[in-house]
Structure 1
Amino acid sequence: MSFLPLFPLNLVVFPHEDLNLHIFEPRYRQLINECLEENKTFGVPSFINGKLRGYGTEVEIKQLSKRYGDGRMDIKTRGLRIFRIVDFQNPAKEKLYAGGDVIFVANEDLNEEINPYLLSLVERLYQLLKIKVDYAKPEYMPFSYRIVHKIGITVAEEYELLTTPDERVRQEILIEHLERIIPVVTEVERTKERIAMNGHFKELDPLNF
């Protein structure tokens, strides 16, 4: 069991993920300054629908990008390991920020095999939205982690992925999500096309009765 300073956020951070943060609250300025001075990590537990969830991700500070005159900071961080909170303290003893005893969980499957059907659904979604998204990342980052923030999944669903240890199962969860939303997106795009055509001269085929 280890103690981590905790920085709850309304998001899910995954191992190997880069996360940029703007630090402005006094309690988190204290937390980040201590981590910088002592070369310590901190934890980002997910705070979803007004509740602190039991799991989060340990992160390390990669760079202090900017320090403002009033004490605010811009930092670059990277996710390391998933943890489960055993004892949450708010605030931690003699600190402004929260902290807690945590257990790091063996919850990461680095299998890089990508389900071809999942990949086809991802590509179909981007075709419908007429956007290009770069989801190429280093090999050590599982595909589910690379794509999860880029397919319109909810924070609660992202949290489900965080607590799912098997990469194959994580990809199945993403497939279920895409199978739900692609028909909706398809109909929205058709509706947009119909609206765009309204008022334009149309060349109609004659109907045979």
Structure 2
Amino acid sequence: MTSSQLIPLFPLGLVLYPNELLPLHIFEQRYRDLVRDCLKAESAFGIVLFQEGKMSRIGCTARIREVVRRYEDGRMDIVVAGEGRFRVLDINRQRSYLQADAEPVVERTPPEDLPGRERVITQHIKLLELAGRTPSPSVYQNRAELSFFIALNAGLSLDQKQVMLELGDEEARIAFLIKHMSEFIPRVEEAETLRRKISSNGHFPDFPPDA
């Protein structure tokens, strides 16, 4: 998307990021229509967060990468890839599915020496190690939007994921992640310490205690 245009809209209870792969099971007729039209036109559609009866105004366009399975009753399993962010200007209800007059969200160019880059990578590796994973530092290299990659596995709430999507540049998103993980990692460490104590013999008396 390079200018304001009309795009199909798929409100969901999730946040999609650029370059993220997302499997979807399509069962409602209106969204079967949406997928059919996008496949025919080889076009993208927009995914926006919908929760508690409210739809966010900033979303991410998605392009269908693969139709994994078509069911006899018309349902489909597909995989989409996030592309670029957009802002909803107006809603159009002329088709079975929603459409939006939307414009691209312009990304501010980050500085070459991005502040916080190494720190956020170190924090993320530590967080994943606490979860029993051993990521290689090489997976963080040559990523134009490192923040979105890290945010996929950073323990963010749905609201925090949407805040990330709406931030205007990479520097702001990395600062947001650093602050989040500075608070989140100690809580994970505390929970892990408690888990180990509970699972170890002799650290706690029998529970419940004898009457």
Q: TM-score interval w.r.t. the shorter chain?
A: 0.7 to 0.9
Residue type at the aligned position of 2:14: L
Residue type at the aligned position of 2:98: A
Alignment-derived partner of residue 132 in structure 1: 134
Alignment-derived partner of residue 27 in structure 1: 30
Deviation at 1:141, TM superposition (A): 3.8
Equivalents in 2 of 1:16, 1:49: separation in Å? Answer: 27
Alignment-derived partner of residue 98 in structure 1: 98
Alignment-derived partner of residue 187 in structure 2: 184
Q: How big is each residue's C-alpha offset from its partner over 1:56-99, in whole Å with a ceiling of 9 and x where there is no partner?
A: 1111112212111110111121112211111113xx21x21111
Residues 1:14 and 2:17 aligned together: yes
Equivalents in 1 of 2:119, 2:84: separation in Å? Answer: 29
| Structure 1 contact 111–167 (Cα < 8 Å) conserved | no
| Structure 1 contact 109–142 (Cα < 8 Å) conserved | no
Gaps of 5+ in 2: 204-211
| Structure 2 contact 24–79 (Cα < 8 Å) conserved | yes
- Corresponding residue SS for 2:8: strand
Q: Runs of 4+ in structure 1 displaced over 6 angstroms?
A: none
Q: Provide the identity percentage.
A: 33
Equivalents in 1 of 2:14, 2:108: separation in Å? Answer: 19
Deviation at 1:186, TM superposition (A): 1.1
Residues 1:197 and 2:197 aligned together: no
Gaps of 5+ in 1: 201-209
Equivalents in 2 of 1:140, 1:195: separation in Å? Answer: 40
Equivalents in 1 of 2:148, 2:36: separation in Å? Answer: 29
- Corresponding residue SS for 1:157: helix
Equivalents in 1 of 2:181, 2:151: separation in Å? Answer: 11
User: TM-score, normalised on structure 1?
Assistant: 0.85
Deviation at 1:198, TM superposition (A): 3.0
Q: How big is each residue's C-alpha offset from its partner over 1:164-205, in whole Å with a ceiling of 9 and x where there is no partner?
A: 1221110110011111111111111111121122348xxxxx
CA-based RMSD: 2.2
